Structure 1
Amino acid sequence: RADATALNQVAALLPGRNPYHPSERRQRHILRTEPARARVVAGESAKVSELRQQWRDITVGENPREFAHFVTRRALLAMERAEYRILGPQYKSPRLMRPEILASARFRAGLEKIPGATIEEAGEMLDELATGWSRVSVDLVSVLGRMLSRGFDREIDYDEYQVAAMRAALETHPAVLLFSHRSYIDGAVMPVAMQENRLPPVHVFAGLNLAFGVMGPLMRRAGVIFIRRNTGDDALYKYVLKEYVGYVVQKRFNLSWSIEGTRSRTGKMLPPKLGLMSYVADAYLDGRSEDILLQGVSISFDQLHETAEYAAYARGGEKRPEGFSWLYNFIKAQGERNYGRIYVRFPEAVSMREYLGPPHGPIAEDQAAKRLALQKMSFEVAWRILQATPVNATGLVSALLLTTHGLALTLGQLHHTLQDSLDYLERKRTPMSTSALRLRTSEGVRAAVDALSNGHPVTRVDSGREPVWRIAPEDEHTAAFYRNSVIHAFLETAIVELALAHAGRADGDRLQAFWSQAMRLRDLLKFDFYFADSAAFRKNIAEEMAWHQDWEAHIAAGDAEIDAMLYAKRPLMSDAMLRVFFEAYEIVADVLRDAPADIGEKELTKLALGVGRQYVAQGRVRSSEPVSTLLFAIARQVIADQGLLKPAADLAERRVAFRRELRSILHDFDHVGHIARNQFVAREAEARGARLQHH
């Protein structure tokens, strides 16, 4: 019964109590008391000749018994399709995948090309991948998901127009739902979001490390497909997984996984992983579907319990292995306090056909062209996810308080300083959460900082004349996670500020210096953030500068004019949003001064943590935030991209030059930060004068 209560759904696990397959005695009782619940359905019929032709075309069957099995499978599928017309698409489930795939002529043909491969071993791998939905589990997973997310507001925040658009799109083509990944809760949110909006269920890929104990069978019945993290040179496993994905796509079932491949422990969006995507692309190019939609899903939260774990990891801690004790503690922690709201957004889907061309097209045989198209396609999905993710109050408040480096602010100071950011977001039409919109009022700001107080990550001091709020040094990494989640909304305007500061001290053509530095900053930050392509980026930068009339002439005029432009700019965000990343780059560049050319990643991180702690103790960096294994991992990619990890005759000189460049950029941060503080002081003086005049 699709409208069963939560209690009915849980009771359905008991033998003989399944409301979808009641016992004969229960069926007779239902017919007597609730005859409207009983429906007789008939599956679509087919001629024996048609079935025999299908059997010959798609299987390797040779005898009447195998034909009988084929007809039985087709009859079961026909009855299920008839039932779904009554139950709705959220109960649609793949059935009989293992026998269908193993009997497939195309599967057997491919298997013969793999040395040493056997049908038995392939069958075992299909068992490992096996998944499916029981109707009970469709409803039960929703209940369990609610329990896992009980620390959040009960109502998930959706954009109803996006939901309607996605529902229409899913009626025409199969889809891969690619979600942003900040928490293990994402895996519970996805099925809940699909069921609440009466959308077809998705089969979520997850690592085998989560299939411990009874969780494996339970999650498999809930539509989870467990895959091996490292397949190495196992050609058979890769082939079986590829064919499995192709079968699911051909049968128009929807798949889902994290586009980032793993949880982002920094709050920023990670680069997309292409492994599973390549299998879906192969299925499309092989003609298994006329098109496949790549549907981005933005899942974001006001707060997360896992930020404490991420902060410990950033400081050099080890990741805890998953198991029953880990699961118990994780579920327990979700009920410790209120974490605010969960936001789910569905931006416009990306068409695989648009990027790969028609099935069996030329790109199918050109591996380099296919990989490039996959990269562009995946980045477009990730870009749309970012653009749809609402900026929330937690990120804005954390960003502001991190700039004070432990100094506390009053409610009034918080309120009037946040207004410039809100003005900018409204001007850019950036999506904002309700909590962010409420920052327009003092009451909304008070609600936001109180929700973050008690070290989550804000500390409130209320023993004096009025309460003040700060972020203590030990909570900076936690606050950084929230701040990082909103950087995408301010990224280009922050780069504008640094390019202006650079142009202000440049010799020669200052306008050219501005543009050169903007593009250079984009190149240095490309491993940390998503950017539009070069042409679109230049266009966006020009639009950012449009707030100042005759901006090109003012830049050309020199440093005083440029400083006036910076002072007039609202808000100034570069110091708040980007400084920490360049501080992390500089720490790693400092380590490279006397490091061997081919220093390993672990050794580089270990040395960087040591040098970083020294920098903090000496006040050479503003806070402990850049001393992070997570940031150092990206910094190493930046260093490698500059060619500073390969032996060369001039390696030492180039390493010194790069460190000098980073220090020059940090000097630009200092300059913009000084102007921002002058803005703050002037605003404070104006507010104080207004209060005195009022009294």
Structure 2
Amino acid sequence: MDAQESPPNGRTPGASPAPASPTPPAPEPHRTFLSRWFEPVRVSRDAGAELSALAARGSLVFVMRSPGLLNFLYLRWFLRRLGLPTLRAAQGFPGFFGWIARVRRSRRAFEDALATGDASLLFLGRPTEKDPFAALVRIQRDLFQPVFLVPVLLVWSRRAQKLKPSFWDVLYGSPEAPSAFANAVGFLRNFRHALFDVGRPLDLQAHLRERPDEPDALAARKIRGALHQHLARVFRTAVGPPLKAPSRVREKVLRDRTLRAAIEAVAADTGRPAAALAAEAAKDLKEIASRYDPTFVGLLRGLLAWMFGRLYRSVEVDEAGLARLKRAAADAPVVLCPSHKSHIDYLVVSWLLYEHGMTPPHVAAGMNLSFWPFGPIARRGGAFFIRRKVKGDRIYTAVLRAYVKHLLRDRFPQEFYVEGGRSRTGKLLAPKSGLVSMEVDAWLDGAADDVLFVPIAIDYEKLIEASSYVRELSGAEKEKESLRGLLGAATVLFRRYERLYVQFEEPISLRAIASERLGEGAAALAVDDAWGGEGERIARGAPAEGKRALVQALTNRIAYAISRAVTITPVGLVAATLLSHGRRGMTAAEFARRIDLLRYMAAEGGARFGRDLAGAPSDPRQPGPIADAVRRLALGGTVRVEVAAGDTIYLVPDEKRPVLDYHRNAVIHRFVAPALVAAALRADGGEVPLLVLRQRALWLSRLFKLEFMYRGGTAPEEILQQNLAFLVRIGAATRDGDRVRPGPEPDLLAFLAELLRAYLEAYRLAATTALSVLSPEAGGPAPAATDRRALVREALERGRAAFLSGEIQLRESLSKATLENAFEWLATQGVIAEDGGKLRLADADGASLRAIVDGITRHSAA
């Protein structure tokens, strides 16, 4: 599929991301009044199509939890509105209101509806001697067409249930079983924000066919129980689990057996009183725990809707992925794992989930964000705060693990960022496994049968923090979050930041990953396999390799899935095109050709494209999203557009390249694999044996292992062959048996190789700086210049001189984040060593480091 054929994403224009209800036919006079009240109810996007498909195959029997006239009236109105089979009968609806509404409640009416293909409704209520499910099973055995049991939920109020009933629970009934009076009040107060959700249908015919010998009464009880449990989970997905008082949560977490074992172990090791350690644990928990308040979240929803409406032209939402998440949340606890590029990330996911009828997540946030007043507000919205550095603090780590286990056991959705912090460069940061490990520990300890990790990509066409990121990447220190900074951030409300994209990948099952990787060995894993610090593991004699491998595999899979969900935006394509160019400017024709190539490559890899890109022209002179992106960049001074000799030429001023580099990095992962092969082929400039090409491409991929996420589960040889075949297909390379050389389109080969130049120049700068500063023959460095931060500062200063003199071509090569990764990579390769915070060369003559410099130089030569 080429880029022009890529399907458009589901989207949510403006500031209202709730899925629209299906468009009704012209209202009939007898239901005009009901339409006025029922039309604002929010319905999942695919509900109508799904029900229509089921109705074409058999009879629909809807199942609701508790009887209510409003429930019946809404479902009847909804089915008529979509032209679906009419709701003819209802079972389990006793009382006066059913008689007033003339609901057909007899067993004969129910059987007639099934026989004629009309819809009917079952209220679960309490089982009776004349259980309608038993009759339904008997009827299905005699029917040719299948009966589909469709659990549906109508939520008028998002009021969460409490373990200790409040005055309102006594008056209105519990949220799970409200009184008729409560239903009426909830309808009148909240009909504009009510939700109608369709659960997972059960094919009764197929269900009974799989159990031919099961008695009807037993089958009916099991079906009733399964539907009741499913609806309970769907309901909790919408309003959340029962809320506990903060004192109850504190008591429960501090009683956790693993935490108590940690306190006893630390007391034995240090001689500190267990009571003092328990008090420390209580203090740590107070520092960590959220103060989630669903009423406050409901009030905040309107403010966030207004804010997003002002900030963005639209919030583009992957509606199908969100519906998939909603279904998954009814099956198992979910852990949301978004990419992290902006402080907006904290807000947008919670807002989207609430708008789409789900409980907002408990979000793991850095302790740096707990300042007043943001901290208390965020805690009430579900944030819990974590220290950045906890190594060696065994009590704090045990408290955090116990709190995560509590959230998982109570089925609260959670959210954390596997990157650890915000990406200043635009690309995904190397994933951290700390919180993933805690979730795995909680699962192993029996907190849940399974845990579903949901990778999410959040992308911006224009970033609020862009200017501060450029300063930090140039070497400036990160500004500490504070009230002053929060007040200053209010100025962003007077600006427009184009579109925001939120994409959801398939949920990743922890249980499935464990079974896939470990087989029967998954059942033998225990919490102790990765308990606390190394001291505890040794003391307990517990092997850690199986658990550690599982955690790392899961973390890598989450990170790679996030990268696959990233949206290819018009500004990302423009940035990748303009920055991967060795000359000063680019003509419009060349610009369009390269945009076409990038779109083709991304579409082949199954990428998701930004709004309106499908079928749009790549030529920046023709109206469309590419032209709009160039125009906005030109208005901001990031791109210059010149006309000379009748041709339009596009240039990027040197000082603006780091701004554009952010957007290039956001999409570069889609093009890295062929770029690595292109750079390896171009290294010699002529014909090269396939074996040498393979070695060089592998060397480059290892060089950048901290920069990019690679596809797992595929052999390097297979990846090389696929990407080499692609280069041959576009004319960038020619292959003759085991010999490869540049093809008839050398400019395309150069373009792809140039995608990596900024990284090659940065890594070469880091290596040459380390070689120069740390080499003994250079006279020895000053003591202050041997720690890692000082070495980064030295590299930035040397890089500035090299850029001004022309030795370094690209301004974006002088990136603090990339240099930090480069020094970390050199340390992992063992060519530099760190002793007591000071760096030194691992070998006295620096031969290993010189070999790396030579390798980078070979691949970065133009």
Q: Same fold (TM over 0.5)?
A: yes
What is aligned with 2:499? 341
CA distance in 1, matches of 2:842, 2:375: 51
Name which of 631, 654, 669 aligns with 1:473.
Answer: 654
CA 581–593 in structure 1, closer or farther in 2 if over 3 Å, else same: same
CA 32–421 in structure 1, closer or farther in 2 if over 3 Å, else same: closer
Name which of 258, 278, 284 aligns with 1:125.
Answer: 284
Name which of 400, 408, 411 aligns with 2:577.
Answer: 400
CA 110–571 in structure 1, closer or farther in 2 if over 3 Å, else same: same
What is aligned with 2:117? none
CA distance in 2, matches of 1:414, 1:468: 9
Name which of 339, 344, 353 aligns with 1:180.
Answer: 339
- Per the TM alignment, residue 82 of structure 1 is displaced from its structure 2 partner at its CA by 11
What is aligned with 2:824? 637
Residue 655, structure 1, aligned to residue 849, structure 2:
yes
- Per the TM alignment, residue 467 of structure 1 is displaced from its structure 2 partner at its CA by 6.7
- Per the TM alignment, residue 464 of structure 1 is displaced from its structure 2 partner at its CA by 11
What is aligned with 1:77? none
- Per the TM alignment, residue 407 of structure 1 is displaced from its structure 2 partner at its CA by 3.6
State the AA in 2 paired with 1:276: L
Superposed, which structure 2 residues align to 1:595-634 within 5 Å? 595-596=773-774, 599-634=786-821
Kept after mapping to 2: 8 A contact 1:347/1:385: yes
CA distance in 1, matches of 2:607, 2:770: 40
Q: The residue matched to 1:156 in structure 2 has which SS?
A: strand
State the AA in 1 paired with 2:772: D
Superposed, which structure 2 residues align to 1:668-687 within 5 Å? 670=862
Q: The residue matched to 1:539 in structure 2 has which SS?
A: helix
Can you list the C-alpha shifts for 1:169-213, whole angstroms capped at 9, x where unaligned? Answer: 111111211111011110011101211222232100111211111
Q: The residue matched to 2:623 in structure 1 has which SS?
A: helix
State the AA in 2 paired with 1:490: F
What is aligned with 2:673? 492
CA distance in 2, matches of 1:590, 1:611: 10
CA 408–534 in structure 1, closer or farther in 2 if over 3 Å, else same: same
CA distance in 2, matches of 1:237, 1:431: 41
Kept after mapping to 2: 8 A contact 1:176/1:295: yes
CA distance in 2, matches of 1:94, 1:26: 17
What is aligned with 2:524? 361
State the AA in 1 paired with 2:266: I
State the AA in 1 paired with 2:805: Q
Can you list the C-alpha shifts for 1:411-431, whole angstroms capped at 9, x where unaligned? Answer: 555334422222332333322
CA 542–566 in structure 1, closer or farther in 2 if over 3 Å, else same: farther
What is aligned with 1:89? 238
What is aligned with 1:36? 184
Q: The residue matched to 2:459 in structure 1 has which SS?
A: strand
Kept after mapping to 2: 8 A contact 1:411/1:446: no
Kept after mapping to 1: 8 A contact 2:313/2:498: no
What is aligned with 1:306? 465
CA 102–300 in structure 1, closer or farther in 2 if over 3 Å, else same: same
What is aligned with 1:9? none
CA distance in 1, matches of 2:564, 2:692: 29
More strand by share: 2
What is aligned with 2:765? 587
Name which of 372, 378, 396 aligns with 1:213.
Answer: 372
Superposed, which structure 2 residues align to 1:131-146 within 5 Å? 131-146=290-305
What is aligned with 1:532? 711
What is aligned with 2:693? 514
Kept after mapping to 2: 8 A contact 1:148/1:188: no
Q: The residue matched to 1:245 in structure 2 has which SS?
A: helix
Residue 239, structure 1, aligned to residue 398, structure 2:
yes
Kept after mapping to 1: 8 A contact 2:404/2:438: yes
- Per the TM alignment, residue 522 of structure 1 is displaced from its structure 2 partner at its CA by 0.8
What is aligned with 2:565? 388
CA 24–379 in structure 1, closer or farther in 2 if over 3 Å, else same: closer
Can you list the C-alpha shifts for 1:120-173, whole angstroms capped at 9, x where unaligned? Answer: 333332222232432322223333433554454364222222222222211111
More helix by share: 1
Kept after mapping to 2: 8 A contact 1:128/1:226: yes
CA 168–424 in structure 1, closer or farther in 2 if over 3 Å, else same: same
CA distance in 1, matches of 2:627, 2:256: 63
Name which of 427, 437, 458 aligns with 2:639.
Answer: 458
- Per the TM alignment, residue 217 of structure 1 is displaced from its structure 2 partner at its CA by 1.5
- Per the TM alignment, residue 501 of structure 1 is displaced from its structure 2 partner at its CA by 2.1
CA distance in 1, matches of 2:342, 2:41: 29
CA 643–528 in structure 1, closer or farther in 2 if over 3 Å, else same: same
- Per the TM alignment, residue 285 of structure 1 is displaced from its structure 2 partner at its CA by 1.1
What is aligned with 1:483? 664
Kept after mapping to 1: 8 A contact 2:289/2:403: no
- Per the TM alignment, residue 544 of structure 1 is displaced from its structure 2 partner at its CA by 2.0
Can you list the C-alpha shifts for 1:497-535, whole angstroms capped at 9, x where unaligned? Answer: 1222246557xx711111111111111111111112484
Structure 1 length as normaliser, TM-score? 0.79
Pick which of 154-163 and 264-273 moved more: 154-163
- Per the TM alignment, residue 289 of structure 1 is displaced from its structure 2 partner at its CA by 1.3
Q: The residue matched to 1:443 in structure 2 has which SS?
A: coil
Residue 114, structure 1, aligned to residue 266, structure 2:
yes
What is aligned with 1:58? none
State the AA in 2 paired with 1:546: A
Kept after mapping to 2: 8 A contact 1:503/1:510: no
CA distance in 2, matches of 1:32, 1:498: 71
Residue 554, structure 1, aligned to residue 772, structure 2:
no
Number of residue-to-residue matches in the alignment: 604
Can you list the C-alpha shifts for 1:280-300, whole angstroms capped at 9, x where unaligned? Answer: 111111122111111111111
Pick which of 598-607 and 260-269 moved more: 598-607
What is aligned with 1:542? 721
CA 148–532 in structure 1, closer or farther in 2 if over 3 Å, else same: same
Name which of 457, 462, 474 aligns with 1:315.
Answer: 474
Kept after mapping to 2: 8 A contact 1:511/1:552: no
CA 633–433 in structure 1, closer or farther in 2 if over 3 Å, else same: same
CA 614–249 in structure 1, closer or farther in 2 if over 3 Å, else same: same
Name which of 620, 623, 631 aligns with 1:443.
Answer: 623
Kept after mapping to 2: 8 A contact 1:203/1:254: yes
State the AA in 2 paired with 1:554: D
Can you list the C-alpha shifts for 1:322-341, whole angstroms capped at 9, x where unaligned? Answer: 111211222322432x2221
CA 530–32 in structure 1, closer or farther in 2 if over 3 Å, else same: closer
State the AA in 2 paired with 1:375: Q
CA 325–453 in structure 1, closer or farther in 2 if over 3 Å, else same: farther
CA 403–256 in structure 1, closer or farther in 2 if over 3 Å, else same: same
Kept after mapping to 1: 8 A contact 2:404/2:442: yes
State the AA in 2 paired with 1:302: E
State the AA in 1 paired with 2:412: F
Return 5+ residue gaps in structure 1 as ranges: 6-11, 13-19, 40-80, 671-695
For the pair shown, the structure with the greater C-alpha radius of gyration is 2
Q: The residue matched to 2:478 in structure 1 has which SS?
A: coil
State the AA in 2 paired with 1:167: K
What is aligned with 2:384? 225
Q: The residue matched to 2:266 in structure 1 has which SS?
A: coil
CA distance in 1, matches of 2:510, 2:170: 48
CA 388–281 in structure 1, closer or farther in 2 if over 3 Å, else same: same
CA distance in 1, matches of 2:295, 2:346: 18
CA distance in 2, matches of 1:656, 1:88: 57
Kept after mapping to 1: 8 A contact 2:734/2:743: no
What is aligned with 1:67? none
Kept after mapping to 1: 8 A contact 2:420/2:431: yes
CA 635–147 in structure 1, closer or farther in 2 if over 3 Å, else same: farther
State the AA in 2 paired with 1:651: D
RMSD: 3.6
Kept after mapping to 2: 8 A contact 1:300/1:343: yes
- Per the TM alignment, residue 642 of structure 1 is displaced from its structure 2 partner at its CA by 3.4
